[in-house]
Chains A and B, each alone.
Chain A
Amino acid sequence: MSWFRKPSSAPLWREEFSVFTADERYVNRRQFTKFLTLTSFGMLVGNLWILGRSLLRRAPSYPRLTVAATGELAVGGVKTFTYPTAQDPCILVRTAGDTCVAYSQKCTHLSCAVYYEKAQNRLECPCHQGFFSIADGSVLQGPPQRALPRVVLERQGEQWVAVRMEGETT
């Protein structure tokens, strides 16, 4: 505490509440400076929180999940599923005869659900008109700054199986 308040004979109230008008300018400035310093401490805590999250973050584990049968969707067809957990909505799109792609359905801007716009062959976020490439999930237009995380699919016989995520952020 001695860093913030020097031990003195004067009581605390006399330091914090000025009796003389001339002193009031000093007290006001000192208190405002204390507020600014505490705000600075808050910024430091924020940075330390990010550091802690970065250091303590574990590598996510990805289960194998059967997403769809190969004949289940027509070309241009869409199926939604959750991966890797039940709280992570994803979207599967059959883009060509033998090709399927899957992405996280959460827009990287503000997490609205993206949908497949077949006419434009792209993924669209209706909230703020963010557009993503169906080929790789990259941003084509709009406020999002990051590509959609991609679900890596493997074909096992007649089934599409999700094996991991790529480009996942937090």
Chain B
Amino acid sequence: MTPNPPQNRGLTAIDGAMALIVILLIVQIWLLSATLESYLAGHREAAVPGAIISAILFAACLALYRFVRRIDSDVRRG
């Protein structure tokens, strides 16, 4: 069994982060469509929790993006 070189380890971490972002994005798209459907049906009470959860999901995506940037700069620098 050959050891995984650092270059590939970085790629594995980035791929994992990307997969997580894709999952979060799918949830966010569903959330937006559900909130919009609810709003168009005249139910305004879903707007606040929808916006809060969407902000949390975006913050998670942003954190993962920063993680990817850090891995990228670490691996390519070193």
Q: Using CB atoms and an 8 Å cutoff, list the residues of chain A in contact with chain B.
A: 3, 6, 8, 22-23, 25-27, 29-30, 32-34, 36-37, 39-41, 43-44, 46-48, 50-51, 53-55, 57, 145-146, 167-170
A40–B57 touching, CB < 8 Å: yes
Of B17, B40, B76, which contacts A33 at CB under 8 A? B17
Q: Which residues of B contact A47 (CB under 8 A)?
A: 31-32, 35, 47, 50-51, 54-55
Given A29-B15, A33-B17, A47-B54, also A22-B7 (CB < 8 A) = yes
Shortest CB-to-CB span from B22 to chain A, Å, is: 7
Count A/B pairs, Cβ under 8 Å. Answer: 113
In the bound complex, how far is the Cα of B42 from the Cα of A145, in angstroms? Answer: 12
In the bound complex, how far is the Cα of B11 from the Cα of A166, in angstroms? Answer: 57
Given A47-B31, A170-B40, also A37-B14 (CB < 8 A) = no
Q: Give the one of B24, B57, B69 with max A CB within 10 A.
A: B69
Of B28, B58, B68, which contacts A30 at CB under 8 A? B68
Which secondary structure characterizes the binding site on chain B?
Answer: helix
B73–A6 touching, CB < 8 Å: yes
Q: Give the one of A3, A47, A57, A169 with max B CB within 10 A.
A: A47
B31–A30 touching, CB < 8 Å: no
B40–A40 touching, CB < 8 Å: no
Shortest CB-to-CB span from A163 to chain B, Å, is: 19
A33–B31 touching, CB < 8 Å: no
Of B7, B21, B47, which contacts A54 at CB under 8 A? B47
A43–B32 touching, CB < 8 Å: yes
A40–B32 touching, CB < 8 Å: no
Q: Which residues of A contact B31 (CB under 8 A)?
A: 43, 47
Of A6, A29, A33, A48, which contacts B51 at CB under 8 A? A48
Q: Which residues of A contact B54 (CB under 8 A)?
A: 43-44, 46-48
Shortest CB-to-CB span from A56 to chain B, Å, is: 11
Given contacts A33-B14, A44-B55, A170-B40, 12 further A-B pairs with CB under 8 A are A26-B72, A29-B72, A33-B64, A37-B65, A40-B57, A47-B47, A50-B32, A54-B39, A55-B47, A57-B44, A169-B40, A170-B39
